[in-house]
Structure 1
Amino acid sequence: MSTITFAFSIFCGWLIFDFVKHRKFTKESVASSLVIAIVAGLFWWILDWIF
């Protein structure tokens, strides 16, 4: 459950960062935020699994 929460918070944070930077939501910014969240979630899950 912590992995999903972490990935969701990364997604929201990255989306807000892109919005502040470009002053609008685009499909590209949402897609890049989603990809980053998935990668971060997988990395967090691997770290949780190892430790």
Structure 2
Amino acid sequence: MSIIIFAFSIFCGWLIFDVVKHRKLNIKMILSSFVISVIAGVAWWLLDLIL
């Protein structure tokens, strides 16, 4: 469950950062935030397995 919360918070944070930086919201920003959050979630899961 913590992996999902972590990935969702990365998604929201990355999306907010992009919106503040570019002053607009488009599908490319949403998709890039989603990809980054999936990568972060997988990395968090792998760290959880290793440690």
Regarding TM over 0.5, the answer is yes
Amino acid of the structure 2 residue aligned with 1:47: L
Gaps of 5+ in 2: none
Gaps of 5+ in 1: none
1-side partners of 2:10 and 2:35: how far apart? Answer: 10
1:49 matched residue in structure 2:
49
Stretches (4+) displaced over 2 A: none
1:1-51 correspondence to structure 2 within 5 Å? 1-51=1-51
RMSD: 0.4
User: May I ask how many residue pairs the two structures share in their alignment?
Assistant: 51
Quote the sequence identity (%): 63
